[in-house]
Amino acid sequence: MQILFVADPLESFQIYKDTTFAMMRELQNRGHTLAACETKDIRWLQGECVTGFVRDITLTSVQASDSGHVGHAIDWFTAEQSHPNERPQALKDFDAVVMRKDPPFDSEFFYSTHLLEQAEREGARVFNKPRALRDHPEKLAIMEFPQFIGPTLVTRDASDIKRFHAEHQDIILKPLDGMGGMGIFRVKADGLNLGSVTETLNKNGAQSVMVQKFLPEIVKGDKRILVIGGKPVPFSLARIPQGTEVRGNLAVGGKGVAQSLSTRDLEIANSVGPVLAARGLLLAGIDVIGDCVTEINVTSPTCFQEITDQTGFDVAAMFVDALEAALTA
């Protein structure tokens, strides 16, 4: 099969840890052919199908360690085209389109989902489904599952935030469109800088903010539970904050430790996973602190390689099994 990846620039990949690279490697090992483009390479011309200017690629580095864990490996693939605009192809002509564009979920990402949805109407098979990506903003999506989350408020009103803080004393504030731990603040019982933090995040009432009760279990890690085709990967990756940092995100220096799913983790994954899968989310990452879901990641969930390296469980193989099953169903 011919698989198109819509992703960030290939030259930016850190292949020793990149989940998209792990997917590509497993697909190539099974004999599938690969192509890639960026969201900026997708267009819809009047009277034509949605088209991507793509590069046909072959992986030359099949071991993640080839990068030396330093910087970006730029020699891990070869491309038949020097520039994407050398070869246009209708998205419907690929066997599958795998959408792996990293957040943030900005207006351009939003428009890309509309183009991909049009490609679906023309016959393309897109994973995750574009409509599902739009319908599940990664912070807000947790509110649909109140039985699994801690005290949470979404508002742009500073007075609402003050009342929430007065009730819960120790809180976390975060922007709805953040990624990788960016823009997350903790305000303790003394309320120091609550007003300044609120003004920074809500842009003086112009933008909504998520506010959550601080979960002290973060010291044991912010667990990423991967759900593929509605079924949980049997291991999570606990991202454990280091030093004085309150955030466990790997992007800000958290330490990733793979661990078996707990009884509560399984309860969450087995309840939420099938719901997400039924909506067209082949892959999702459920973030859990203690017993509480804090985010549901659907745009470009990661941690495949970290879990595989530490446990031997081949997450990429599970993903490709699910993708192949979906394409032949």
188 assigned to active site: no
287 assigned to active site: yes
| Catalytic position from the list 18, 38, 120, 287 | 287
174 assigned to active site: yes
**42-43 β-sheet, strand order:** 42-43, 51-53, 88-90
100 assigned to active site: no
264 assigned to active site: no
**Displacement of CA 327 from its chain's centroid (Å):** 22
| Catalytic position from the list 128, 202, 249, 297 | 297
| Catalytic position from the list 17, 174, 213, 223 | 174
**Nearest Cα to Cα of residue 140 among 302, 303, 298:** 298
297 assigned to active site: yes
**Structural contact between residues 18 and 12, judged by C-beta atoms closer than 8 angstroms:** no
213 assigned to active site: no
| Catalytic position from the list 239, 249, 265, 306 | 239
| Catalytic position from the list 224, 249, 265, 306 | 224
d(CA 121, CA 23): 25
| Catalytic position from the list 139, 213, 265, 306 | 139
Owner of token pair 């606990």: 238
| Catalytic position from the list 247, 249, 265, 306 | 247
For the chain, where are the E strands, in sequence order? 2-6, 33-37, 42-43, 51-53, 55-59, 77-79, 88-90, 96-99, 126-127, 152-155, 171-175, 185-187, 209-213, 222-228, 231-232, 235-240, 255-260, 283-289, 292-297
220 assigned to active site: no
Q: Which residues lie below 8 Å from residue 131, measured CB to CB, with a gap of 6+? A: 113, 117, 280
Pair of tokens at residue 296: 């549901």
| Catalytic position from the list 18, 26, 295, 306 | 295
DSSP code, position 75: -
Q: 56 φ, ψ to 5°? A: -80, 125
Active site residues: 139, 174, 224, 239, 247, 287, 295, 297
